[in-house]
């Protein structure tokens, strides 16, 4: 299951100077301001106990730290953090220290996150009075692009580059936030941080009542002042509405479109009803090509696509991986598999195609993969690509195809930071133990400000379009 983008609340900071992340607690806030909130502080002894608890949880959970991280680099950073714990800190300030580990994990399934009561967006808005007014896309170099107003409403500034925020260069701000973000690689971290920019910004740099922005559009820089927003970001987040995640459309007389926005849905039978209806309509339309869009699918349960999508597409037996390395955790231990044992094994479960399914689609299948495709959605793409069920299309390689899973959760005893660690990794169906990234068969540009452009580009590439 994919780890949700964990969010953060406000921080006691002024905007006169841009502090280093590690010094975030040094600035002052006038009494009565929205961010002047007293938070519990924890002693150095308590913080060191939490840090040791974090170490222990990783040790008893992760099957192979070197799969994505450098054990030596992690050890050096742990020691640096421990040495820095010389005075009482709030949970937020402690997170500023421990989150330095997040980029080193190189895994979007492995992270140190703020306490749950500090990561609720509505509490953040209520406590601080408002958040950053735009939804943005972030690049690894820190460049920010406006996608919409906070809450998803359209804006004339869509596509503009944010040059500065309250007098500070936007890329400089972004890079400090990226230094605290988890993800498979720099590109993955930037793609996943964009939807959480409001929250990271508030947690690290504070929550002013007004934002003074320099925006660059059509080579012209304009200064804009906007009040803090009462709306939380929605782009890049999984909607609670079924229709926002799953949809079917006829693009032309030869092409159908299927959006699979998540594989994490409380009622998988609802997915089954949807796909049966959709493939019935596809058959009636006599479409020769089916485009399946998983660009915003951050994962969920493999059963969602094994049971409710592949019966309409698979033409030969398939398996979801080739090789698996797992750590036996206490909750899954047995007499034959004691806790702590690392087991390597082959995937022996093969799923049979439903060749007699009257709604099985036999035309060309194209899977659109993208910036936030992750976890079970990557497994889906692996299967579709490795067994020749589909052609993968998209821009670049955003995530590792040899992915981790079986995420385990732990709460540090004092600070209540939330820890997430995977207990296994698996090789894609075709095998191999390389650090291969998920790579589309057709590399095509995918404009973040115009998601339908890729669909239209695919249509023009198809024969007779």
374 CB-near residues (< 8 Å, 6+ apart): 2, 108, 188, 297, 298, 299, 399, 403
In a domain, 132, yes or no: no
In a domain, 296, yes or no: yes
Instruction: Note the pLDDT of residue 432.
Output: 64
Report d(CA 326, CA 345) in Å as an integer.
9
Beta carbons of 68 and 110 less than 8 angstroms apart: yes
- Give 246-263 pLDDT, tens digit per residue: 999 999 989 999 999 999
Q: Residue 303 belongs to a domain with what CATH number?
A: 3.90.226.10
Cα Rg for the chain, rounded, in angstroms?
23
What separation in angstroms does the CA of 75 have from each of 70, 101, 104, 309, 398? Answer: 9, 10, 11, 43, 27
* Residue indicated by tokens 């019935």: 280
What is the signed CA dihedral for 103, 105, 107, 110, rounded to 10 degrees? Answer: -110
Instruction: Note the pLDDT of residue 431.
Output: 76
Residue numbers in the chain where pLDDT is lower than 50: 1-36
In a domain, 268, yes or no: yes
In a domain, 411, yes or no: yes
Report d(CA 39, CA 90) in Å as an integer.
6
Q: Please tell me the pTM assigned to this model.
A: 0.89
Instruction: Note the pLDDT of residue 433.
Output: 53
Beta carbons of 221 and 127 less than 8 angstroms apart: no
* Residue indicated by tokens 């670049």: 396
**Nearest partner of 235 among 88, 370, 74, judged by Cα:** 370
The number of distinct structural domains making up the chain is 1
Domain that holds residue 249: 242-461
Looking only at the bridges linking them, the beta strands covering 442-443 and 391-394 are: parallel
In a domain, 112, yes or no: no
In a domain, 444, yes or no: yes
**Nearest partner of 384 among 401, 403, 406, judged by Cα:** 401
Beta carbons of 415 and 50 less than 8 angstroms apart: yes
- Give 353-377 pLDDT, tens digit per residue: 999 999 999 999 999 999 899 999 9
In a domain, 387, yes or no: yes
Report d(CA 3, CA 199) in Å as an integer.
16
Q: At what angle do helices 121-128 and 197-205 cross, to 10 degrees?
A: 40
In a domain, 80, yes or no: no
Instruction: Note the pLDDT of residue 176.
Output: 97
């Amino acid at each position: 299951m994919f780890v949700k983008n964990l969010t953060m609340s406000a921080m006691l900071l002024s905007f006169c100077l841009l502090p280093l992340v590690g010094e975030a607690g040094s600035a002052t806030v006038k009494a009565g301001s929205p961010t002047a909130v007293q938070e519990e502080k924890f002693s150095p002894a308590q913080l060191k106990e939490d840090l040791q608890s974090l170490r222990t949880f990783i040790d008893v959970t992760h099957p192979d730290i070197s799969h994505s991280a450098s054990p030596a680099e992690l050890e050096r950073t742990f020691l640096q953090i421990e040495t820095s714990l010389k005075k009482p800190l709030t949970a937020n300030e402690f997170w500023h220290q421990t989150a330095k580990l997040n980029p080193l994990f190189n895994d979007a399934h492995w992270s140190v996150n703020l306490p749950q009561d500090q990561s609720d967006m509505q509490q953040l808005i209520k406590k601080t009075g408002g958040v950053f007014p735009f939804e943005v896309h972030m690049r690894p170099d820190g460049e920010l692009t406006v996608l919409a107003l906070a809450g998803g409403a359209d804006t004339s500034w869509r596509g503009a580059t944010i040059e500065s925020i309250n007098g500070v260069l936007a890329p400089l701000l972004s890079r400090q936030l990226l230094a605290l973000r988890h993800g498979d690689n720099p590109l993955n971290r930037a793609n996943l941080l964009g939807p959480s920019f409001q929250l990271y910004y508030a947690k690290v740099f504070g929550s002013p009542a007004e934002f003074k922005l320099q925006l660059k559009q059509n080579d012209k820089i304009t200064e804009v002042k906007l009040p803090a927003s009462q709306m939380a970001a929605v782009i890049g987040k999984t909607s609670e509405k079924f229709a926002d995640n799953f949809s079917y459309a006829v693009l032309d007389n030869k092409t159908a479109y299927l959006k699979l926005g998540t594989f994490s849905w409380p009622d998988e039978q609802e997915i089954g009803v949807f796909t049966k209806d959709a493939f019935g309509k596809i058959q009636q339309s006599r479409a020769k090509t089916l485009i399946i869009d998983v660009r915003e699918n951050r994962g969920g349960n493999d059963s969602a696509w094994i049971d409710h999508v592949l019966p309409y597409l698979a033409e030969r037996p398939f398996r979801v991986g080739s090789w698996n390395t797992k750590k036996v955790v206490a909750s899954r231990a047995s007499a034959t598999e004691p806790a702590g044992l690392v087991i390597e094994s082959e995937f022996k479960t093969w799923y049979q195609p439903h060749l007699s399914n009257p709604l099985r689609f036999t035309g060309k299948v194209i899977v659109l993969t993208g910036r936030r495709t992750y976890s079970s959605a990557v497994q889906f793409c692996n299967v579709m690509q490795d067994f020749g069920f589909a052609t993968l299309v998209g821009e670049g390689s955003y995530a590792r195809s040899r992915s981790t899973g079986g995420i385990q959760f732990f709460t540090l005893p004092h600070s209540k930071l939330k820890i997430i660690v995977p207990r296994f990794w698996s090789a894609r169906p075709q095998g191999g133990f390389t650090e291969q990234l998920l790579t589309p068969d057709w590399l095509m540009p995918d404009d973040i400000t115009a998601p339908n452009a890729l669909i239209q580009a695919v249509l023009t590439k198809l024969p007779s379009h």
